[in-house]
Amino acid sequence: MIRTKFFHARRVLAVLLISTGAAWSQQQMSSYERGRATDMLQQIANDVKKHYYDPKFHGVDFDARVSEAKKGIENSKSFSMAMSHIAAALDMLDDSHTFFVPPQHAYRHSYNMQYQMIGSRCFVTQVRPGSDAAAKGVKPGDEILAINGHPVDRDVFWKIQYLYSTLRPQAAIRLNLKDPSGAQRQVDVAAKIQQTKRISDLTGANDASDIWDIIRQEETEEHLMRARYVEYADQVTVLKVPEFAFSVGEVETMLSKARKHPNLVVDLRGNPGGSVETLKYLVGGMFDKQVKIADRVGRKDTKPEIAKTLHNPYLGKMVVLVDARSASAAELFARVIQLEKRGVVIGDKTSGAVMEAKHYEERSGTDTVAFYGASITEWDLKMTDGKSLEHVGVMPDEVALPTEQDLVAGRDPVLAHAAELLGVKITPEEAGKAFPYEWPPET
């Protein structure tokens, strides 16, 4: 059953890659661009064959897939389509952490809305005020039945996001929606597109400001991805961890906040994972003993991933919150808490995207350089129960999901329930105000 479902997901993505309409400002491909795309394909293929953890590629004839992609590039009418063929070749490995990273687009692109899987259904969760989506009446609580005519389910959700947000952004997407009353409608949402420079000067010479623009973007990202805290009744600390990208010192600061109260909620909803080192720090901060996270199964050998206890770890009662966007290191953390019986995991089944990968950056050109690359899985991860979380995810000890009405009203019944389990009564309305969503500034 699982193999059949994931074959279907791969087939759907292949159809999407080849059939999706022209991306914004797409132009006919020159012979130079065709040659550049072919060189990119070959370099990425070489990287995969050299570094991928399974030299047999799960039985996939990878060389044949690369040959098919090369023919696709030869017949492509645009550079964007050629990039899609490279992505499709890697997608056939059906590996959440092995994917193509195309050259950066010469524009910033956003549909100004957030959506995610909740249970088996896809919902709008945030809409930027003043955006085209807001003007078209798209609201939190709307269920997305299809995007550009393609039904949305858990198996293809992240691939649709990758396609329309990273690989081939569109000037607009067509949404088939159902509101909380059950009424259905179709809406075309235009993207916000901001042209950027095709060539950036990072030297800072001649008053060039490109380097400072990049620094400001990094500062904005750091602000949005900071850890946040809320305290309730001198009994519960809620720690919101948006990603695993913190130093040991920053994790120890989190623990100092947690130690102020006897109960802790670690909110990993929406956390896509990140650094293995941060994962080890956070796990080590929750135990007074050394803990084995998983076995790393590589191309040549198997090595244990061990978290050593940090100085003065947090040993109070703990609840971990997860959802369908919780992925990779976030899933590993939640599963370790379950396996070690350290706390309770509440929320939705997680993403099932759990491998250990490394990003390989490549470049094309001499005078004008295009950077591209690939994320390539170098290790599979087997938990202490002998099982992998890839394509499986973490099933919470208690499933708790917001309803359409909760999304409309901005309520968070999941956090409210977690607090109640730890002895503190707060309303879903109060919980919904704990961590207000922050849109990045428009430039």
Residue 441 burial (CB count, 10 A):
10
Residue 247 has phi, psi (to 5 degrees) of -75, 170
Sign of the dihedral through C-alpha 148, 118, 236, 278: negative
Contact residues for 131 (Cβ-Cβ < 8 A; gap 6+): 112, 113, 192
Alpha helices in 302-422 (DSSP H): 329-339, 404-409, 413-421
- Three-state DSSP at 293 gives strand
The residue length of the chain stands at: 443
Average pLDDT, consecutive stretches of 10 residues, N- to C-terminus, the chain (443 residues): 34 53 58 94 98 96 97 94 95 96 82 97 97 98 97 92 89 96 97 69 54 65 90 96 96 96 98 97 98 97 97 97 98 98 98 97 80 96 98 98 98 98 97 95 75
Amino acid 183 reads A
Tokens of 53: 């953890």
Q: Cite the beta strand spans of 22-112 per DSSP E.
A: 99-101, 107-110
Partners of 302 in the β-ladder: 297
Rounded (5°) CA angle 11-83-106: 130
pLDDT at 109: 83
| Dist. CA 323–CA 293, nearest whole Å | 20
pLDDT at 3: 30
The pLDDT tens digits for 350-386 are 999 999 999 999 998 776 678 999 999 999 999 999 9
| Dist. CA 249–CA 255, nearest whole Å | 10
| Dist. CA 257–CA 68, nearest whole Å | 54
Superfamily of domain 227-354+389-432 in the CATH hierarchy: 2-enoyl-CoA Hydratase; Chain A, domain 1 (3.90.226.10)
pLDDT at 22: 42
Judging by beta carbons within 10 Å of its beta carbon (0-12, 13-18, 19+), is residue 410 exposed, middle or buried?
middle
- Fold entry, domain 107-163+170-195: Pdz3 Domain (2.30.42)
Domain boundaries, given as residue ranges, for the chain: 2-101, 107-163+170-195, 227-354+389-432
**Across the chain, what does the average pLDDT equal?**
90
pLDDT at 443: 61
Q: What is the DSSP letter of 165?
A: I
Q: Cα torsion for 276, 280, 286, 289, to the nearest 10°?
A: 150
**Pairing, β 291-297 against β 370-382:** antiparallel
Q: Cite the beta strand spans of 170-235 per DSSP E.
A: 172-178, 184-190, 192-195, 228-232
pLDDT at 7: 34
